[in-house]
A and B are shown apart, each in its own frame.
Chain A
């Protein structure tokens, strides 16, 4: 199945996302902030990036912008995990090259349904 890079500074969210995706047969790589994710991405390509927006060191928007600069990530779907109150963040994410977003809070089923939109 797909290889997915999950980026979130919250360990519980990361675990939940990762557990859900692995349960659906995906291969998941976890990163706790943008810097860590970018470092991984520089060496590896993935089929999908799921990233939180608010993170220390490098936030999701910056991560997205940086990923789009990498040749291997030009067309890779990047979904931002955002909250409903962050309307303008969505726009900012889009302009940074994000593919779409998943609105928090979400449950495992919602997550799986949403990522189907961009996989395969």
Chain B
């Protein structure tokens, strides 16, 4: 039977990545002095499974590398070797290395073995160096009977089982059948019943018989030994060549090789083979390209709830079907009820389908312990990472995109936020700093907080830097929030020394932009000497949006409901003209810049006066703008469609949707709109707070 093993590769890769994550997690959590046995076991098992799988599926490089890992871990597990910082580092490096090997293999590339060879050398050094016990206590290495015995004229096998033989599930009859196959039935079996007890003391579960098998064909002794491979400890097996005469005292210890059973078909002897089967590699090549995010793991609960809902939908549908068959006007109410039910079912189904894409944020959080450890070691800082809310769920796509901005923020907290131990002690703080990651749901959003107890943002320095860079006018009077907000401006960087970690050309402006592209926002609050807190708010899903439909001329646009503060109708007197061209609206104690949507979007329409228009006050990145539209229409949930896919990115537009009548309406990107209208520059002149 020929089975294409490549069909299992994807599962193997996925579980191996999970295994690596578990190893990494375990290693990071490990208490060096008295490691938890279960943690070590988990790490060992992960390495062990990977080795087994890699060998089976022909990834020799991975199998060989994980082998040394496993050997070392086994020694630690059995208490033969103590865990140490060095070993921990080496193991962590190996995790990265294996991950890389797997990614290469998955992409169908030949893996680069430089790193794994180096690491393997280090493992072997440890293993060979002061190994307390010979590295692999492997019975299979024990020399097998050296004397090549030729069973020229056949063999005589005397098989004396222990009485308990049957209790291991071994069955002499099956072994004899195998022998018979080996020698084409040219054998005779004779029975020695001398061990049989008297009938009354006979235990039917025990084996009292002794067999003598005379094989009258030239076959290899090893083949005979292999038949009895599993029972060498449960039986005395004496194999003597026939021509030597059965009288000769046989060699008692018939060691059996424990190498893998020899099988005629050597087509895919996996681990030892010099080259992995090349056709398999070719086969994985194609699907590997897009594997990163092409599949999703869904819990059975979610699937079951979907099935239930589809069941309900089917019931509603058949009810409506029946109603339609003999419908008359008296049944209108039933029809309306049915349609309401249908709507209810559809909405539930939609919600459940969306939930399938939801995954716990722990998938992102799990990479941070390692990050914090590595970064803090390289900076000589002591840091505890606390994580909470790891089970908070969010859309898979959002999750994939939020990882990098978070890495940046956490690096930042460690690099600029947390002080060196000595400085902390001098400031009367504990030597070890804390970075706290938290996630929770809040009114349709997921909120992620990154909090540190470091030095906090230095407003003087920020302001000074921003002035130097011309981001803010000399002597401008900014509120604290406005100053904090400056760090998100393009071209802003406070670090005096460009450290290895920050200053990679990725600034906080990129972080903010990435978050904004997910329809999210980021805010910072900080207290000098006490620490900083970054709060990221993201929609739970990118696929659906609660929208406010507005009309401008003949066109309908959609505003995300979350960004709308209020909608007002005003007379002209509420509008002040600033500097001759830009209008601002006095809204209680604030001045809000006014944007004419038809101007910004070049919509052709008859001009209306402000008094005839509606002003939708929206908020983005902490600033408000008033958008002038003609009419407010309904609010509805809309499915977001990409405009970029077939067209291109359009400033001020985040996407499109299809309305109930089949026409397309565009979704307004509030922060983009604010930039286009040139209002963002205004907040820096310090004059937009009403006196």
- Whether the pair A97, B15 counts as a contact (CB closer than 8 A) is no
Q: Could you tell me the distance in whole angstroms from the C-beta of A54 to the nearest C-beta in chain B?
A: 5
CA distance A105 to B11 in the complex (A): 17
Answer yes or no: A13 CB below 8 A from chain B CBs: yes
Query: What is the 8 Å Cβ interface bit string for chain A, positions 75-118, against chain B (1 contact, 0 not)?
Result: 11110010111111011001001111101111111101110011
Indicate if the CB atoms of A87 and B138 lie closer than 8 Å. Answer: yes
Task: Give which listed residue, A94, A109, A117, contacts B1 with CB less than 8 A.
Answer: A109
Residue pair A10, B168 in contact (C-beta under 8 Å): no
- Listed in ascending order, the chain A residues whose CB lies under 8 Å from chain B are 9-13, 15-16, 19-20, 23-24, 52, 54-56, 68, 74-78, 81, 83-88, 90-91, 94, 97-101, 103-110, 112-114, 117-118, 120
Is B136 interfacial (CB 8 A cutoff)? yes
- Please determine whether A12 and B8 come into contact, CB atoms closer than 8 angstroms: yes
> Residues of B contacting A109 with CB < 8 Å?
1, 263, 265, 267-268
* Inter-chain contact B53/A20, CB cutoff 8 Å: no
Scan B643-664; emit 1 where CB is below 8 A from any A CB, else 0. Answer: 0000000000000000000000
CB-CB < 8 A to A110: which residues of B? 260-261, 263
Cβ distance A25 to chain B, nearest Cβ, rounded Å: 10
Q: Name the CB-closest residue of B to A96.
A: B168
Q: Contact at A118–B174, with CB atoms within 8 Å?
A: yes
Contact across chains for B1 and A99 when beta carbons are under 8 A apart:
no
Are A87 and B140 interface neighbours, CB within 8 A? yes
A118 touches B49 (CB 8 A): no
Q: Are B178 and A117 in contact (CB under 8 A)?
A: yes
The 4 closest A-B pairs by CB, nearest first: A105-B55, A100-B230, A87-B139, A99-B169
Stretch from B40-48, B79-87, B325-333 forming part of the interface with A: B40-48
Of B138, B234, B267, which is in contact with the most chain A CB atoms at under 10 Å from its CB?
A: B138
- Are A10 and B1 neighbours in the complex by a CB distance under 8 Å? no
Chain B residues with CB under 8 Å of A12's CB are 8-9, 11-12, 15, 53, 56-57
A58 to chain B, nearest CB (A): 12
Q: Does B271 contact A (CB under 8 A)?
A: yes
Interface residues of B in 241-268 (CB under 8 A from A): 258-261, 263, 265, 267-268
CA distance A56 to B39 in the complex (A): 11
**Contact pick for A104, options B55, B205, B265, B268, CB 8 Å:** B55
- In the complex the two chains form, is B53's CB within 8 Å of A75's CB? no
Query: Does B403 count as interface, using CB distance less than 8 angstroms?
Result: no
Which of B14, B49, B71, B268: most chain A CB closer than 10 A?
A: B49
How far is it, in angstroms, between the C-alpha of A19 and the C-alpha of B8 when the chains are bound?
10
Question: What 0/1 pattern do residues 145 to 175 of B give for CB contact below 8 A with A?
Answer: 0000000000000000000001111110011
Q: Is A104 in contact with B56, judged by CB distance below 8 angstroms?
A: yes
Q: Contact between B48 and A15 (Cβ–Cβ < 8 Å)?
A: no
Q: Which of B169, B233, B267 has a CB less than 8 Å from the CB of A75?
A: B169
Q: Is the CB of A107 within 8 A of B56?
A: yes
Interchain CA distance A104-B230 in the complex, whole Å: 16
* 26 A-B pairs whose Cβ atoms sit less than 8 Å apart in the complex: A10-B49, A12-B8, A12-B9, A13-B52, A15-B8, A19-B8, A56-B45, A74-B167, A74-B205, A75-B171, A76-B169, A77-B170, A83-B48, A84-B138, A84-B258, A87-B136, A87-B138, A97-B167, A97-B168, A97-B169, A105-B271, A106-B270, A107-B5, A107-B56, A108-B1, A117-B230
Asked if residues B268 and A94 are in contact (CB atoms below 8 Å), the reply is no
B137 touches A88 (CB 8 A): yes
Provided the pairs A100-B229, A105-B63 are in contact, do residues A15 and B52 lie with their beta carbons within 8 angstroms? no
Q: How far is the CA of A97 from the CA of B166 in the complex (A)?
A: 10
Number of A-B pairs whose CB atoms are under 8 Å? 153
Chain B count of residues within 8 A CB distance of the other chain: 60
**Residue B70 at the A interface, CB < 8 A?**
yes
Give the complex CA separation of A107 and B270 in angstroms. 7
Once the chains bind, are B45 and A54 in contact (CB under 8 Å)? yes
In the assembled complex, the CB of B49 is this many whole angstroms from the nearest CB of chain A, namely: 4
A97's nearest neighbour on chain B, judged by CB, is B168
> Complex formed: what's the CA distance from A35 to B514 in Å?
46
> Once the chains bind, are B1 and A103 in contact (CB under 8 Å)?
no
B15's nearest neighbour on chain A, judged by CB, is A11
Name the CB-closest residue of B to A116.
Answer: B178
- A87-B258 in contact (CB<8A): yes
Does B198 sit at the interface, judged by CB under 8 A?
no
Contact of B70 among A77, A85, A97, A98 (CB under 8 A): A85
Q: For B381, list chain A residues within 8 Å (CB).
A: none
For B63, the chain A residues whose CB sits under 8 A away are: 105
A20 contact set on B, CB distance < 8 A: 1, 3
* A84 CA to B45 CA, complexed, in Å: 15
Inter-chain CA distance A76–B140, complex, in Å, is 26
How far apart sit A67 and B437, CA to CA, in the bound complex (Å)? 46
Complex contact B271–A56 (CB within 8 A): no
Partner of B169, one of A78, A104, A107, A108: A78
Q: Smallest CB-CB separation from A68: which chain B residue? A: B167
Query: Nearest Cβ distance between residue A19 and chain B, in whole angstroms?
Result: 7
User: Are A9 and B171 closer than 8 Å at their CB atoms?
Assistant: no
Since A12-B9, A118-B170 are in contact, a sample of 6 more A-B pairs with Cβ atoms closer than 8 Å, ordered by chain A residue number, is A10-B52, A16-B5, A85-B71, A85-B138, A104-B52, A118-B169
